[in-house]
Amino acid sequence: MGKLTVIPAVDLQGGQAVQLVQGVAGSAKVFGDPLAAAQRWAAEGAQWLHVVDLDRAFGTGSNAEIAAEITRTLNLNVELTGGIRDTETLNQALATGCARVNIGTAAVTNPAWAADAIQTHGERIAIALDVRDGQLATHGWVDQAGDLFDTIELFDAIGCARYVVTDVSSDGTLTGPNLDLLRLISADTSTPITASGGISTLADLEALATIPTIDSAIVGTALYLGHISFADVR
């Protein structure tokens, strides 16, 4: 797949690996033991893992111990996200030894704090741009707040090392990524982008690889269901 790194998603809810459709609570496809899922992707050749604590994102609980176990157990670069909105939760995530933490809601609701996190921790911090109908989605994608391109301008000026862009409307749907949105964002910033949402085929990955600043893609349901395999993307 050339320059494009495929990053498997392990989304945590109620202690299980799940995949939601468009981030909607109650829409989960359940894929069992999250550590077993992570071990599977590691065995198949993954270099990175995207671990999301959905319960923290929704404010309904925490899977922090499971996320920490995955990070501690596997020799992978792990990016953690979900409900990381203050110094305490950020420090807990960083203390697991993860390679990167994604900040989403707090980038909109508390940009000064997110900016300080970037200045303090550098490349270990990415800004998650979760987009629904052109606006940033926050609090587990339930609320909409904040202008997408104003946020990019702000964090570009601060020196953000990476954006993780998710089109909420396509996430978990296997309907393909929102290439138009990703091209617009790519044209607006030179910061590296990880794309997420709707990826279902090798053709989707090939299309993403043509967009200049996209160097990686998060894949969830398509990997779990076997629509894409690591054998295909090596």
What is the 3 state secondary structure string of 83-125? CCCCHHHHHHHHHCCCCEEEECHHHHHCHHHHHHHHHHHHHHE
CA–CA distances in Å: residue 180 to residues 133, 183, 186: 12, 5, 10
pLDDT at site 135: 85
CB–CB of 213/195 below 8 Å?
A: no
Residue-wise burial string across 60-95, b where 16 or more C-beta atoms lie within 10 A, e elsewhere: eebbbebbbebbeebebebbbbbbbbeeebbebbbe
pLDDT at site 51: 97
C-alpha dihedral over 215, 87, 91, 17, to 10 degrees? Answer: -60
- DSSP sequence for 196-231: ES---SHHHHHHHTTSTTEEEEEE-HHHHTTSS-HH
Predicted confidence pLDDT, tens digits, the chain (234 residues): 557 999 999 999 999 999 887 666 666 688 899 999 999 999 999 999 999 999 998 889 999 999 999 999 999 999 999 999 999 999 999 999 999 999 999 999 999 999 999 999 999 999 999 998 888 887 765 566 778 999 999 999 999 999 999 998 887 778 899 999 999 999 999 999 999 999 999 999 999 999 999 999 999 999 999 999 988 886
Which one of 11, 53, 55, 204 is the catalytic residue? 11
Which one of 53, 130, 171, 204 is the catalytic residue? 130
Catalytic residue list contains 55: no
CB–CB of 12/42 below 8 Å?
A: no
Q: How many whole angstroms separate alpha carbon 220 and alpha carbon 37?
A: 11
pLDDT at site 25: 66
Q: How many whole angstroms separate alpha carbon 189 and alpha carbon 209?
A: 16
Strand partners of residue 78: 49
Q: What are phi and psi of 66, to 5 degrees?
A: -65, -45
pLDDT at site 231: 81
Comparing C-alpha atoms, which of 27, 53, 18 is closest to residue 140? Answer: 53
Catalytic residue list contains 130: yes
pLDDT at site 141: 58
Local structure of 181: helix, strand or coil: helix
Q: How many whole angstroms separate alpha carbon 184 and alpha carbon 54?
A: 28
Which residues have CB under 8 Å from 96's CB, separation 6+? 67, 68, 71, 72, 78, 80
CB–CB of 177/169 below 8 Å?
A: no
Local structure of 77: helix, strand or coil: strand
pLDDT at site 234: 66
Range 5-233 has CATH code 3.40.50.720: no
